[in-house]
Structures are given as C-alpha cells and as structure tokens.
Structure 1
Amino acid sequence: MSEPRLGVAILTMGNRPREVAALLESVAKQDVPPARIVVVGNGSPLPEMPDGVTAVELDENLGVSGGRNVAWQRLRDFGDVDVVIDLDDDGLLVDADVFRTVRDLYADDPRLGIVSFRIADETGETQRRHVPRLWTSDPMRGGEVTTFLGGGHALSVPMLERIGGWPDEFFFTHEETDLAWRALDAGWKVLYSPELLLQHPRTSPARHAVYYRMTARNRVWLARRHLPLPLVPVYLGTWTLLTLARTRALDGLRAWGGGFLEGVRTPCGTRRPMRWRTVWRMTRLGRPPVI
C-alpha cells in the first residue's frame, strides 16, 4: 500500500492516567501523525482526553483480546486507517520517527501483516521473554519471525479483515500467538523490527493472579484450534515439561493444572488447523509450532 494511514489503539483499565498521558504526549511528538487515536477504557471510566483522541468506555473488562477488538474495529469504522498500532498504556515512544518507519515498512511490502516493536526498560535492557526468537537472546536481531510482542506492534487492517481479529475467548495470554499463526497460515509476514522501540517498565507476566490458569488453558486452545492433529500432543507435551521444570510455586502448578483441564474440557472456538506448508515455513523461520 502507498502511504498507509496509521491509527493508534491504547487499552487501559483506568489505573494508569499519568502513564497514558505521557504515552499520548509521545504519540503527539511523532513526525508522522496518525490519522486516528482511540483509547479504550476496559471496564473503567476514562479521564478527559486531548483533542483528536476518541475515548471508548466499556461497561465490563473484555480482556486484552476483547478490548483490542473494540479498538481496531472502531478505527476501521472511521474508514481512514490502513494500519493499527497497538501500544501498552504504560509504554512510551522514545524516538520521534517510529510511525514514519512503520508507514514505510508497510508501503514497501503489501504482504506485511504484523510488525513487532522492540521492548526495553528505562535502562535499555530487553527481557529474554521479549525477544521473539528461540535460539538467540539478542534483541537487535530483526527479521521475519513467527510471533510478536503484545506491548507494541502494528497490524495491517486488510490482514485483520481477512483472518479476523483477536481471539475474544482468550481474554489474556497467547492471544498474539493465535493471531500470528492465523496470519502466517494466510500467507502474511510477521516482522520483528528492533529499530522500533517501545520503552516499558520491567515486569513479570506472573504478576497477574490468573496468569498460570490462563497460560495453560490458552495453550491447549491454541493446539486445539490451529495445529494438525499429530502435532497437538507434541506441542502440549513440550510445554508441560517446560512448565514443570520452570515453575517453583506449588500454587502456580495447581493453577496451571486446572487451566490445562479447562482448556481440554471447554469450547475453544472454530478449529482451523494450519497447513503443513505453514508448519514448514515456521520451522524454516526458526520456531516450529511444537514449542
């Protein structure tokens, strides 16, 4: 697409008004302004927003997936947005040329579906879990990947319209993997661009009380929704062994086990297994869908 028009989506629970204000200031300093900005209050009221910002207040918390679906659909309804940029409400754009780079990347490649930003804390350090590759911890190694970072990324609107948006059922955790797998299977590219920096406080996903349960449930749902049948036990077996090796808290393991059973027993949406050529493509990119 030539000169794609950018829209910004920010999801918040209303508990970070200072951070949201600082993030909006960093958006306003971009040398390529977005066509639209939407801030969604996920089950919470919002403070007064600056001019040019559309505020959407939801009556209930729809989770990351549901809230981001509301945001991108509102942006699409304006009719003048080609790329959605999702930013965590406690993130910050340090450089003024982030949106220019995003625009140029999409203008140069019509098959580009997802662009993942680099996430680093105030000291410039990137946590290992924020490097979307298996075999390297180097956050400066860009290129095509098989997943992306939820804290800062860009999504092609034509891609979203073709493959569907975020998986509402997931609520929180692994929604990025679900979206990336569908994008890859439909022939779109997922690109990690470390020059696109989102500054973000150092955190642990386990800070959320439901982390262990939803991590397990959603991994089972991923396998049930998207993997060819022979790969389902391999994927789930690999992650079971990794969880047992990594998790030291007994309460966490109990919650994980409950979530795993929930994932087996409950509906997970429509099953559309990826093609074997997608499996091979992901393998060539360094991450076969078994880990």
Structure 2
Amino acid sequence: MRHLRVGVAILTMGNRPAELRALLDSVAKQDLRPAHIVVIGNGSPLPPLPHGAVGVELSENLGVSGGRNVALDELRKLGDVDVVVDLDDDGLLISPDVFSRLAELHTRDPELGIVSFRIADERGRTQRRHVPRLRAGDPARGGLVTTFLGGGHSLSVPMLDRIGGWPDDFFYAHEETDLAWRALDDGWHIRYAPELVLQHPYTSPTRHAVYHRMVARNRVWLAKRHLPAVLVPLYLGVWAALTAVRSPTAAGLRAWAAGFAEGVRTPCGRRRPLRWRTVWRMTRLGRPPVI
C-alpha cells in the first residue's frame, strides 16, 4: 500500500529565521519525504529557503486563518497532496518518522480528517492547554477528540474539499475549533496522537497583544455560526463565568468585554448549526459543545 502524499505548510512573520531553518531541516530529515513544502511570509519577507521549498510573501498579515488558506491554495496548485501538515515556525520535529506514522494513521482510517500532534517543550513537558480534551492529566493518552492543536497537526485534503478551509475572518484564536466542529458535523474523526511530537518552546497565549479581544470575539462567532440556538447562551455563559474566575488583569477583562461585544454586533459568516447527533457524539467523546 502506497504512503499518502504529504504537503507541509508553515507560516512565519519573519522574526524567527533560525528557528524556521531548524524546522525545515527537521522536515528534510523525515523518512517520508513530503511532496511539497510551502512557507508563507505573513506580511513579511522570507529568508532564503532550502531547495524544494516554495515561498510566498504576502504584503499584509492575514492572520493564522488567512495565511493558512493561502498555503492550502498554493499546495492545491502544486498538486499531488493527500494530507496537509501545518507546523509552527518555531517548532521542531524531533523524530524522523512523524510523517510516515502520520500517513499510516490516515491510511488505516479513511474517515480520519484531522490528527493533532503533542506539543512538548525541550524537557518533554506538555502544557495543559496543549492537550485537546478536558481531562488533561495524562498528555500521553491519545484517542478520538473534538478539537486539535494549531501548532502541529494534519488535515485530510478530501475532508478540506468537503468542508472548506480555515475561517478567514477569525484571523487568530479558535480557528481550529471552527474547523474541527465542521469536520465532526460532516462525519470525520479527529485523533490526538501523542506519539507524534512537535517540540515547541514554553509559551503563554497572552503573549499576543490581541489575545483577549480575539478570544472573546471569536468565541461569540463560533456560537453564532455553529451552535443550535438553545445552546448559544449556555455556551457563552459558561465561558464568561470561566473568564471571570480565571481573573485576568483589568485591562484583559476590558479587552475581553470589547471583543465579546464586537462578536455580538458583527456578522460572522454563514450560520450552519451542528446537528444534534454531532452534539451527542461530542458529548460521548467527553466534550459537549458548551465548554
């Protein structure tokens, strides 16, 4: 049985040239050679790239969603790709068999739409927020889940052909959840595979200046786009309570409230509520779409 053809997509803002080069070196060492590698300069020029990598320099920063959609379009133009692997530009593949094991997972399960890697720092530690399920005590426990990690994952091209790509308007925050919910509602599986590791420096999401506003706005957009009407106030109420309990700074709370209001008053794209059987499926997987 042939291996599936892997295409690699990497976004960069031009501020991590050494890390990007190390990542590309780790991609080159994979025992399953990728069919294509696309590097997007998201509003920035690109450093010199190794032979075989295609660079695209965007005149403006389109965010995570917009940049990844450009990468998808470029990979489609190049052709011969069955699976797209998205990688953070400051990540590192520490094992040479990540792509071959990934291809085996997708080959064994034709309904596998998304595989989420495990994100670990240089000491092998995985932050709780990097485990894509509620019970995060054991980051080495894999299985079917309801969302995935943006820093390292694979996407089935046949799945993308059916459900579409990333939500452009989200820019940053919750774009993975939006795509995951559409995949689940179309019948695809999402698997957390902790044996596939992307080494990544320890970080906090609040390092991004727009974090609180984007998180709140996009959370509202998720609810408006995808949840059955009866679940919208429950979902948003739970997350408002969690935000208050976690007590960010006063400035963070003001930014969160502004983002929430922006999400309520602004359009969010086409509304297509999850089917109730999808809600039940997510509940059985341990994460109903209310938290």
TM bracket, shorter-chain basis: over 0.9
Partner of 1:114: 114
Letter in structure 2 aligned against 1:267: P
1:285 match:
285
**Map of 2:131 onto structure 1:** 131
CA–CA separation in structure 2 for the residues paired with 1:127 and 1:136: 9
Matches within 5 A, 1:1-291: 3-291=3-291
Quick one: percent identity of the two aligned structures? Answer: 73
CA–CA separation in structure 2 for the residues paired with 1:247 and 1:179 = 29
| Deviation of 1:3 (Å) | 2.3
Deviation per CA, 1:235-260: give whole Å up to 9, x if none: 00000000000023000000000000
SS in 2 for 1:84: strand
How many Å apart are 1:2 and its aligned residue? 5.0
Distance 2:247 2:215 in 1: 13
Other structure's SS at 2:113 match: strand
Q: Structure 1: how far apart are the matches of 2:44 and 2:177?
A: 27
Q: Is the 8 A contact 1:159 1:183 kept in 2?
A: yes
Give the CA deviation at 1:72: 1.3
Which whole-Å deviations, capped at 9, do the CAs of 1:203-223 have from their partners, x for residues lacking one? 000011100000000000000
Unpaired runs of 5+ residues, structure 2, are none
- Flag structure 1 segments of 5+ consecutive residues without an equivalent: none
State the SS of the aligned residue for 2:71. helix
* TM-score (norm. length: structure 1): 0.99
TM-score relative to the length of structure 2: 0.99
- Taking the aligned partners of 1:195 and 1:167, their CA distance within structure 2 comes to 29
One-letter code aligned to 2:53: V
Aligned-partner SS, 1:147: coil
Residue 114 of structure 2 aligns to a residue whose secondary structure is strand
RMSD across aligned positions (CA): 0.8
Moved more, 134-143 or 176-185: 134-143
Query: Residues 2 and 247 from structure 1, CA distance in 2 versus in 1: closer, same or farther, beyond 3 angstroms?
Result: farther
1:7–1:82 Cα contact (<8 Å) kept: yes
Q: Deviations over 1:24-82 (max 9, x none)?
A: 00000001110000000000000111100000000100000000000011111212111
Does structure 1 retain, via aligned residues, the 8 Å contact 2:3–2:100?
no
- Per the TM alignment, residue 161 of structure 1 is displaced from its structure 2 partner at its CA by 1.0
- State the Cα deviation string for residues 126-155 of structure 1 (Å, max 9, x = none): 000001111232110100000000000000
Inter-partner Cα distance in structure 2 for 1:147 and 1:224: 18
Give the aligned residue type for 1:231. Answer: L
Moved segments of 4+, more than 6 Å: none
